[in-house]
Structure 1
Amino acid sequence: MEFIVFDLEWNQPEGADEEVRHAIPFEIIEIGAVKLDKELNLIGKFSQMIRPQVYKEINWRIRKMLNLQPGELERGRPFTEVAEEFLAWCGSDPVFCTWGGQDLTELQRNLAYFDMPPLAEKPFEYVDVQKLYARKMGEKRQFSLESAVDEMGIEKDVAFHRAFSDAYYTGMILRALPEDIRRTSAAYDLYRLPGSREEEIYLRSEDSYTFYSQGYDDRNDIINDARITTIWCPRCGGPSTKGRFSGDMSFATGGRSLKRRIKWFGHMGRTMHAAGICPEHGPVISALKIRTAGNGKYFAEKTTSCASREEYDKLTEQKQKSDAK
């Protein structure tokens, strides 16, 4: 097993055909990566420019941010050549690591647009270093890469905003994070959704769990699926001690489903909330987001957590305001 910490730079279209823009909203123009062994030692580097084939006019903001030199992109190679070389360099058992999840999405969109084999046929684990860093800081907001480098005291010996340098700094942050933070929770790439209920994903921590569903053609089918809208206590009805479980929503453990004291409310295009009270562990709050996958299907991302009485009361007030509208 080796860690592939990578970063992409891409071009944004201006005035492109709507159908093309939907298929490839960002065209990759640079791939940079570092390879780390299981002890997080640096053992390899990758850096290649890509000659644009779809959006040949480079957005001026992109050109300025990357400080592109005249002729630099023109000397690049086609995406298919670079991507094939990069994936071969990654090896047979890579663990992808990124600062946020968008790079994996755009890599797979570009692979699909150029009719290349997919990274995977179903969801796979990766390391979201940005989320791990936020966990270290005890916050849920997104941090910039440079602010994290500064806070951790990592030497800034290469310029930011190029694919290789950003991948390098991401790798250095990963290496500097405490081991207990690095092992906290997995992230899943969902460009390709679970193909069945058996492949659905459940991630559990001590007092919460997150569920990712299979795909649905209609978002209303998600709201009408009792498996998804039922609230389970994370502590006495959790999926498994191993942190991931695929199977029935009862978690096959005699888990305790809760009566919804606060029924689901909110907009389907944003986040919906509901809550119940476990007789043993107190308030439990669930947040449901309906997302759209790369294939156009809808899927559920539901996070359920044990909560304080104050959090429960606050949600009660929000529900009352929502009902009054």
Structure 2
Amino acid sequence: MGNYIVFDLEWNQGKTVKERNGKSLPFEIIEIGAVRIDENMNRTGEFSRLIRPQVYKKMHKITEDLIHISMEDLQKGDDFVTVITEFLEWCGEKPTFCTWGPLDLTELQRNMDFYDLPLLSDRPLPFYDVQKLFSIQYEDGKMRRSLEHATDSLGMEKDGAFHRALSDADYTARIFCELSRKVFYNYSFDNYVTPKTKDQEVHIIFEHYAKYISREFKTREELLSDPEVMGTKCYICNKPIKRKVKWFSNNGKHFYSVSLCKEHGYMRAKVRVKKAESQKYYAVKTLKFITDKEMLEMKAKSEKKSFNRLSDHKKNS
């Protein structure tokens, strides 16, 4: 892949969320900055624009303290539709988007949707979360560090203010260029646009786990009774496997089970129930092989949850 677009957004918000034509806009984008990188990790361009607010005409104090942009500054910018049209033209064909953290693509598409613009994809959009990739390469893969922490740990010169779109995109691009190509396999998906049909669903196997993003369901009950969502089979040999820890949940949003593949060992399944923009439900399921010790820990959590449910039942009876 080439044509990497490393971008960053700054946004403003109001005291209450504004709606129009049934669409809400909690965060209005006020600045976009980006760096284009080719397949050889050479910079081939920069993009930087202020955006004139059309929804929130006062600067929220949190935003003002963080990014030091005034409303007077923003009046010099163009409207969102003009800027985003220029940005997408500048991105070129088949861009691979890269951001620090998972939020920017979602908010970009939410702002596009608010103005009835065509979205970036008709299904979940693959991208590189550089924050996650930094953690995978340099730390434990789980921690999510600030952009400034990452630049400090790599000994980079801090020659631009943080929390401005172009300088944050610049720092992110520098970190991206330091990454080993082997971590590029760990790409992420932006789920602002969720699968609507089975052929749009995501089935993918990574180095250490597998991921499935389901189509939308009208109700949680319909989702939780779907055989593909709640079914488990070994993602390596594709054979049905016996469940050793039945599905349980601590909060009604995350569901866990453990099954045993005779060839590959214990496999943990985690299903996250999420709400789509349509207010329907979809699931993100991850499958991962775990150790015997981790299996026993999962079993103990399951039994504790069952005990708690039994205790609650007895209290209420």
TM-score, normalised by the number of residues in structure 2: 0.92
Per-residue deviation, 1:268: 6.0
User: Is the contact between residue 6 and residue 163 of structure 1 (CA under 8 Å) also seen in structure 2?
Assistant: yes
User: Is the contact between residue 13 and residue 55 of structure 1 (CA under 8 Å) also seen in structure 2?
Assistant: yes
User: Is the contact between residue 129 and residue 174 of structure 1 (CA under 8 Å) also seen in structure 2?
Assistant: yes
AA paired with 2:159?
A: D
CA gap of 1:179–1:26, structure 2 versus 1, over 3 A, is same
Indicate the SS of the match to 2:143: coil
Unaligned runs of 5+ in 2: 309-317
Per-residue deviation, 1:176: 0.4
AA paired with 1:279?
A: K
Q: Map 1:142-181 to 2 at 5 A.
A: 142-181=144-183
Q: Distance in 2 between matches of 1:165 and 1:68?
A: 14
* 2:115 matched residue in structure 1: 114
Q: Distance in 2 between matches of 1:119 and 1:207?
A: 29
CA gap of 1:117–1:205, structure 2 versus 1, over 3 A, is closer
1:50 aligns with 2:51: yes
Aligned residues: 306
User: Is the contact between residue 35 and residue 44 of structure 1 (CA under 8 Å) also seen in structure 2?
Assistant: yes
* 2:265 matched residue in structure 1: 282
* 2:313 matched residue in structure 1: none
Q: Distance in 2 between matches of 1:233 and 1:121?
A: 29
User: Is the contact between residue 123 and residue 188 of structure 1 (CA under 8 Å) also seen in structure 2?
Assistant: yes
* 2:239 matched residue in structure 1: 256
1:320 aligns with 2:303: yes
Per-residue deviation, 1:199: 2.1
CA gap of 1:230–1:113, structure 2 versus 1, over 3 A, is same
Indicate the SS of the match to 2:269: strand
Deviations, residues 175-194 of structure 1 (Å, cap 9, x unaligned): 00122222x22212221122
Per-residue deviation, 1:74: 1.8
Stretch deviating more after TM superposition (66-75 or 55-64): 66-75
CA gap of 1:203–1:280, structure 2 versus 1, over 3 A, is same
Per-residue deviation, 1:67: 1.3
User: Is the contact between residue 5 and residue 170 of structure 1 (CA under 8 Å) also seen in structure 2?
Assistant: yes
AA paired with 2:147?
A: L
CA gap of 1:42–1:143, structure 2 versus 1, over 3 A, is same
AA paired with 2:221?
A: N
User: What RMSD over aligned residues (CA atoms) do the two structures have, in Å?
Assistant: 1.7
AA paired with 2:98?
A: C
CA gap of 1:43–1:17, structure 2 versus 1, over 3 A, is closer
* 1:37 matched residue in structure 2: 38
User: Is the contact between residue 275 and residue 284 of structure 1 (CA under 8 Å) also seen in structure 2?
Assistant: yes
Q: Map 1:61-72 to 2 at 5 A.
A: 61-69=62-70, 71-72=72-73
Q: Distance in 2 between matches of 1:278 and 1:316?
A: 16
Q: Distance in 2 between matches of 1:122 and 1:41?
A: 30
Indicate the SS of the match to 2:134: helix
Indicate the SS of the match to 2:74: coil
* 1:195 matched residue in structure 2: 196
Q: Distance in 1 between matches of 2:156 and 2:38?
A: 20
Name the % identity.
38
CA gap of 1:139–1:21, structure 2 versus 1, over 3 A, is farther
User: Is the contact between residue 4 and residue 96 of structure 2 (CA under 8 Å) also seen in structure 1?
Assistant: yes
Deviations, residues 36-86 of structure 1 (Å, cap 9, x unaligned): 111111110011111111011110110111112462112221111111111
User: Is the contact between residue 208 and residue 235 of structure 1 (CA under 8 Å) also seen in structure 2?
Assistant: no
* 2:8 matched residue in structure 1: 7
CA gap of 1:70–1:53, structure 2 versus 1, over 3 A, is closer
Deviations, residues 187-213 of structure 1 (Å, cap 9, x unaligned): 122211223212211121244211111
User: Is the contact between residue 274 and residue 287 of structure 1 (CA under 8 Å) also seen in structure 2?
Assistant: yes
Indicate the SS of the match to 2:73: coil
* Structure 2 residue corresponding to 1:139, chosen from 130, 141, 165: 141
TM-score, normalised by the number of residues in structure 1: 0.89
Deviations, residues 73-101 of structure 1 (Å, cap 9, x unaligned): 12221111111111111112211111112
Per-residue deviation, 1:127: 1.1
Stretch deviating more after TM superposition (7-16 or 42-51): 7-16
Stretch deviating more after TM superposition (288-297 or 312-321): 288-297
User: Is the contact between residue 203 and residue 211 of structure 1 (CA under 8 Å) also seen in structure 2?
Assistant: yes
User: Is the contact between residue 207 and residue 235 of structure 1 (CA under 8 Å) also seen in structure 2?
Assistant: no
User: Is the contact between residue 13 and residue 21 of structure 1 (CA under 8 Å) also seen in structure 2?
Assistant: no
* 2:104 matched residue in structure 1: 103
Q: Distance in 1 between matches of 2:40 and 2:281?
A: 38
Q: Distance in 1 between matches of 2:17 and 2:212?
A: 37
Per-residue deviation, 1:20: 8.3
* 2:213 matched residue in structure 1: 212
Indicate the SS of the match to 2:166: helix
User: Is the contact between residue 123 and residue 189 of structure 1 (CA under 8 Å) also seen in structure 2?
Assistant: yes
